[in-house]
C-alpha cells in the first residue's frame, strides 16, 4: 500500500532540510537519490540503477546517474550548474537507449537536479482538456529544494498513485463533507451561534467558514504545512476546555498585519500570515468545546484538503447546512465539470482561441496580447442566483489562469520577478459578490483560489516568491 500524501509531505520536508546545504555532486549524489526514493517509501535498489551504462549516438559510452527502466532517468549536477544542459544530456542518454535497441527502457520522466533545484519533465504528457487550466500539470517545471513538499503530487508515479482526471463525484468530497457535518452538528447541538435552539445562525456559519478556510489554507500553501493542526494539538488541552479561546486568539492574529502585531507573540502564532479581505474581522462569541468536539476538529485537520479543489469551497460549506435551509434559499450544487462546460461555451473558449492566434503573430504580437489582457480585465459577470458563488469563483480562476498565460508570453525570457512586480502586471484584481448572505463563503473560496493561483505562478517561473494571501 502506498504511503499517504501526508506522510510523504512530512518526509519531503525532512529530506529538504537534510540536503539544503549540499553542493558536491560526486560525493553525495547517490545518497541524495537514495533518500529521494525513501521519501515515497521506496528502496532505490529495487527499482533503479546507479551509473547505468548506455552507448551514445557518437559511439562512446555514457553513464546515467539514476535509471529506472521504463519510468525515470535522473541527471544530477553540482550546485549552480546549468539544468538546461543537464536536461540535454539526459535526452542524449534517451536517444542512446533508443538507438541501441533498448526502447523498452526509455523513461517517461526525466528529472534533473543540482541539489538546490529540482526540475521534472514529463516526456509523454496526457493533458485533460476538460480539467481546469490550473489543474493541468505542466509537462516541465522547476522548483527549489525547500519547496519539495509543496510539489510532491507531481511525483505520483513514485508514490504508487495514478493521475486522476476531474471527477465531480470525487469520494474525497463526500468524506470532507462528512467530517465538517460532524463538527457542525456537535457545535449546533451545544447551541453555539444558533438563531433558535437547534438551528444554525450567523455566528455558527461564520465560525465554520473560518475553520474551513484554515483547513484548506494549511494544505494549499497559505499556511505552512500542518501549521493549523500542530497549533491545535500543541496549544490546546485534551478536554477541549481552552480550544474556543485559542481559536479566537488565532483569528485575531490572522486579522492583524504582521507589522501591527504584539512583539512578544508566541512563535507558533506569529508564523501565521495576515489574511486580508475581512474574513476574520468580525468578533464572534467563543464556542465551548468538549474533548469529543476537539477530536472532531482534529479529524478534520488530519484530512488531506489539497485533494479537494478550492473551487468547491462554497459547495462544501453549503452541503453542511440543513437540507431544508438549502431548499429555502434555492441553493443548488453544480459539479465543477458542468460549470466549466458553461463558462467555456459562453466566453472562455473564444478568449483562449484569441490568445492562441495572438501568440503566433510575427508582427504586433505584444500589442495584441496586451489588448487581450485589457479586454479580459474589463469583462463583468453577474450571477443573480449565485448560491455559494461557484460559477463566479471558477470564472475568476479561469480568467486569472488565462491572464497568467498571457503574462508568461509577454515576459518570456525575462528574469524572475518579485511579487509586487507581478501584482502590478495583473489587471484582474478581484471579483465582487454582491449578495451579502453568501459573501463570506465566496470570499473564503476566492482567497484559497488566489493561493492556488500563487502556487501556479511560482510553478511557471514568473516569480521568485509569491505572497499568495496578498495576491
Contact between 180 and 296 (Cβ < 8 Å) = no
Tens digits of residue pLDDT in 302-335: 988 877 766 656 666 666 655 444 434 344 455 6
pLDDT above 60 for 337: yes
27: buried, middle or exposed (CB in 10 Å: 19+, 13-18, 0-12)?
A: exposed
Q: What is the pLDDT of residue 36?
A: 96
Please report the pLDDT score of residue 132 as a whole number.
Answer: 52
pLDDT of residue 269: 93
Instruction: Name beta bridge partners: 112.
Output: 75, 119
Of 407 and 412, the structure prediction assigns the larger pLDDT to 407
Q: How far apart are CA 160 and CA 256, in angstroms?
A: 42
Predicted local confidence at residue 178, as pLDDT: 82
453 within 8 A of 471, measured Cβ to Cβ: yes
Tens-place pLDDT, residues 158-174: 887 655 443 444 556 67
- Where do the structural domains in the chain lie, given as residue ranges? 5-159, 171-308, 336-470
Predicted local confidence at residue 357, as pLDDT: 93
Look at residue 68 and give its three-state secondary structure. strand
- CA 83 – CA 348 distance, rounded (Å): 35
CA–CA gap between residue 433 and residue 455 (Å, rounded): 24
More confident residue, 292 or 131: 292
Q: What is the largest CA-CA distance in the chain?
A: 83
Rg value, the chain, Cα: 24
Angle at 351 between CA 350 and CA 353, to 5 degrees: 65
Q: How confident is the model at residue 223 (pLDDT cuts 50, 70, 90)?
A: confident
Q: What is the pLDDT of residue 67?
A: 96
Residue 434's pLDDT is what?
Answer: 42
- The predicted model scores a pTM of 0.53
Least confident span in 101-105, 212-216, 381-385:
381-385
Select from 206, 424, 423, 242 the least CA-distant residue to 321: 206
Identify which of 179-183, 239-243, 299-303, 382-386 has the greatest average pLDDT: 239-243
**Residue 229 pLDDT greater than 80, yes or no:** yes
Instruction: With beta carbons less than 8 A apart as the criterion, state whether 330 and 387 touch.
Output: yes
Give the whole-angstrom CA distance, residue 397 versus residue 391.
Answer: 10
| pLDDT tens digit sequence for 62-99 | 999 999 999 999 999 988 888 989 998 999 999 889 88
Residue that the C-alpha cell 492562441 belongs to: 356
Q: Specify the pLDDT at position 377.
A: 87
CA dist., res. 401 & res. 133, Å (int) = 6
pLDDT at 243: 96
Where does the pLDDT of residue 196 fall: very low under 50, low under 70, confident under 90, or very high at 90 and above? low
Read off the C-alpha cell for 23: 553542493
Residue closest to 438 by CA, chosen among 392, 395, 389, 390: 389
Report which of 111, 137, 112 is spatially closest to residue 455, judged by C-alpha positions: 137
pLDDT band at 235 (very low <50, low <70, confident <90, very high): very high
Q: Which has more pLDDT, 420 or 310?
A: 310
Residue 144, SS3? strand
pLDDT of residue 98: 85
Q: How confident is the model at residue 466 (pLDDT cuts 50, 70, 90)?
A: very low
Q: What is the mean predicted confidence (pLDDT) over 4-29? A: 85
Dihedral sign, CA of 432, 433, 434, 440? negative
pLDDT for 438 beyond 70: no
Strands 194-196 and 140-144: unpaired
Q: Which residue has the higher pLDDT, 458 or 194?
A: 194
- d(C-alpha 109, C-alpha 69), whole Å: 10
Task: Tell me if the domain spanning 5-159 has CATH number 1.10.443.
Answer: no
Higher pLDDT, residue 222 or 17: 17
Please report the pLDDT score of residue 279 as a whole number: 82
**Cβ neighbours of residue 344 under 8 Å, at least 6 residues apart?**
none
Amino acid at each position: 500500500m502506498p504511503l499517504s500524501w501526508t506522510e510523504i509531505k512530512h518526509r519531503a520536508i525532512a529530506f529538504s532540510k537534510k540536503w539544503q546545504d549540499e553542493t558536491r555532486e560526486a560525493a553525495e549524489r547517490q545518497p541524495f537519490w537514495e533518500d529521494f526514493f525513501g521519501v515515497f517509501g521506496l528502496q532505490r535498489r529495487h527499482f533503479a540503477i546507479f551509473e547505468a551504462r548506455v552507448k551514445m549516438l557518437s559511439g562512446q559510452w555514457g553513464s546515467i546517474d539514476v535509471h529506472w527502466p521504463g519510468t525515470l532517468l535522473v541527471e544530477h549536477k553540482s550546485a549552480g550548474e546549468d539544468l538546461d544542459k543537464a536536461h540535454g544530456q539526459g535526452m542524449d542518454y534517451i536517444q542512446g537507449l533508443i538507438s541501441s535497441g533498448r526502447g523498452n527502457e526509455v523513461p517517461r520522466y526525466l528529472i534533473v537536479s543540482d541539489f538546490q533545484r529540482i526540475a521534472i519533465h514529463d516526456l509523454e504528457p496526457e493533458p485533460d482538456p476538460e480539467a481546469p487550466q490550473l489543474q493541468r500539470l505542466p509537462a516541465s517545471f522547476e522548483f527549489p529544494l525547500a519547496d519539495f513538499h509543496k510539489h510532491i503530487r507531481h511525483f505520483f508515479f513514485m508514490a504508487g498513485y495514478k493521475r486522476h482526471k476531474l471527477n465531480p463525484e470525487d469520494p474525497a468530497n463526500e468524506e470532507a463533507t462528512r467530517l465538517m457535518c460532524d463538527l457542525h452538528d456537535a457545535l449546533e447541538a451545544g447551541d453555539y451561534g444558533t438563531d433558535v435552539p437547534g438551528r444554525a445562525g450567523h455566528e455558527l456559519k461564520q465560525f465554520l467558514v473560518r475553520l474551513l478556510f484554515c483547513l484548506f489554507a494549511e494544505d494549499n500553501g497559505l499556511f505552512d504545512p500542518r501549521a493549523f493542526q500542530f497549533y491545535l494539538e500543541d496549544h490546546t488541552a485534551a478536554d477541549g476546555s481552552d480550544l474556543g479561546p485559542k481559536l479566537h486568539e488565532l483569528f485575531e492574529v490572522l486579522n492583524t498585519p504582521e507589522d501591527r502585531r504584539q512583539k512578544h507573540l508566541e512563535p507558533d502564532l506569529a508564523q501565521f500570515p495576515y489574511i486580508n479581505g475581512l474574513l476574520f474581522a468580525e468578533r464572534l462569541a467563543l464556542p465551548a468545546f468538549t474533548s469529543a468536539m476537539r477530536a472532531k476538529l482534529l479529524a478534520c485537520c488530519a484530512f488531506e484538503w489539497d485533494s479537494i479543489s478550492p473551487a468547491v469551497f462554497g459547495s462544501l460549506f453549503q452541503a453542511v447546512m440543513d437540507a431544508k435551509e438549502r431548499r429555502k434559499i434555492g441553493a443548488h450544487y453544480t459539479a465543477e465539470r458542468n460549470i466549466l462546460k458553461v463558462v467555456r461555451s459562453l466566453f472562455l473558449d473564444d478568449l483562449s482561441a484569441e490568445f492562441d492566434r495572438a501568440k503566433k503573430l510575427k508582427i504586433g504580437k505584444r500589442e495584441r496580447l496586451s489588448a487581450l489582457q485589457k479586454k479580459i480585465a474589463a469583462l463583468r459577470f453577474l450571477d443573480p442566483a449565485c448560491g455559494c458563488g461557484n460559477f463566479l469563483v471558477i470564472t475568476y480562476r479561469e480568467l486569472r489562469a488565462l491572464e497568467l498565460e498571457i503574462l508568461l508570453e509577454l515576459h518570456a525570457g525575462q528574469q524572475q520577478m518579485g511579487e509586487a512586480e507581478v501584482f502590478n502586471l495583473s489587471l484582474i484584481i478581484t471579483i465582487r459578490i454582491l449578495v451579502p448572505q453568501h459573501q463570506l463563503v465566496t470570499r473564503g473560496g476566492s482567497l484559497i483560489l488566489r493561493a492556488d493561483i500563487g502556487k501556479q505562478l511560482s510553478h511557471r517561473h514568473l516569480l521568485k516568491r509569491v505572497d499568495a494571501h496578498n495576491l
